[in-house]
Amino acid sequence: HECYRLLDPILQITPLLRSSSGKGKENEEPPRGMLSIQNYTDIAAFFEFTVCTSIIPCLEDNTLTQIRDRAQHLLPRSIAGRIPRLSLLWGTENIGEVNNKQKIDELKDAVLILGQVVLLDRFRPMLLPRHLADLYAALFQVEHLEKTSPREEETTLNSNENIFVSFQELMFNNVDALNQAKAFQTLLLRGLKAPSWLRKKVSNLLTDLAVRDIRAIIQIFVKSASSSQEDM
């Protein structure tokens, strides 16, 4: 699988062999593809870094939580110990010099790379709940930029275009209703500060989701509303 070609070099940075305790004997090399908790944490940190440097800087303001707030308040402890928080701000330094075409290309590349990993069975439980909203935000931003940006004459055919369109469908057809509802809820957390086109897009998707699986909507939104009232 293509995603393993990308992940294998990352995992090879750390030694695969460890000394057995008290015997001075090396353990056998684990089967290819077997990951330790440290490997999973490294991959989660890689995801967070990529989202903060390649996705969020290319989104309109208030689409998602700002990177500085995300790094300070929403970073899991396991990841915070692996990556310097200031490094998550690297993608914001020269974003004003990036045009819409470059933003679209960056977002598409990020979605294809991260999405292929997040949909794998071994990573889905850990990465999908945290990053599905990030990936959806990137997909919606690409769609909006392509609709609103002036059409330029294409001189070369983008070979990845068909792959991206197919993967865009997969991100909806291959994700359960509960995770979708949670991701849509996250995209609405900015309230009226969020772009109007995003609120309209998510509202339409929520309506479609309610027709297919109203239980997911109730479980996410009603439970959240009940929790808010209890806190008050």
- Whether 1 and 116 have beta carbons less than 8 Å apart is answered as yes
Q: Return d(Cα 15, Cα 17) in angstroms, integer.
A: 6
Does the pLDDT at position 140 exceed 90? yes
Q: Return d(Cα 98, Cα 173) in angstroms, integer.
A: 32
Residue at token pair 């440290």: 38
Mean pLDDT value across residues 191-219: 94
Structure tokens that stand for 71 in this block:
């790094």
The residue that leads in pLDDT, 16 or 65, is: 65
Mean pLDDT value across residues 156-178: 78
Query: What pLDDT, on a 0 to 100 scale, did the predictor assign at position 231?
Result: 56
Q: What is the DSSP letter of 232?
A: -
Query: What pLDDT, on a 0 to 100 scale, did the predictor assign at position 21?
Result: 43
Q: Which residues contact 142 (CB under 8 A, 6 or more apart)?
A: 104, 107, 108, 111
Residue at token pair 């995992």: 11
Query: What pLDDT, on a 0 to 100 scale, did the predictor assign at position 18?
Result: 43
Q: Return d(Cα 51, Cα 45) in angstroms, integer.
A: 10
Lowest average pLDDT, out of 52-66, 74-88, 99-113, 207-221, goes to 74-88
For CA atoms 27, 33, 37, 38, give the dihedral sign: positive
Confidence of residue 169 (pLDDT cuts 50, 70, 90): confident
Structure tokens that stand for 219 in this block:
């479980």
pLDDT over 90 percentage in the chain: 55
Lowest average pLDDT, out of 16-25, 44-53, 133-142, goes to 16-25
Query: What pLDDT, on a 0 to 100 scale, did the predictor assign at position 89?
Result: 87
Q: What is the mean pLDDT of the chain?
A: 82
Q: Return d(Cα 77, Cα 34) in angstroms, integer.
A: 24
**Angle, nearest 10°, between helix axes 124-148 and 161-173?**
130
The residue that leads in pLDDT, 101 or 15, is: 101
Does the pLDDT at position 20 exceed 50? no
For residue 52, the number of C-alpha atoms closer than 13 Å in the C-beta half-sphere is: 24
In 3D space, the residue among 55, 169, 186 whose CA is nearest the CA of residue 119 turns out to be: 169
Query: What pLDDT, on a 0 to 100 scale, did the predictor assign at position 80?
Result: 85
pLDDT digits (tens, 9 = 90+) for 23-57: 444 556 657 667 888 889 999 999 999 999 999 99
Q: Return d(Cα 189, Cα 28) in angstroms, integer.
A: 49
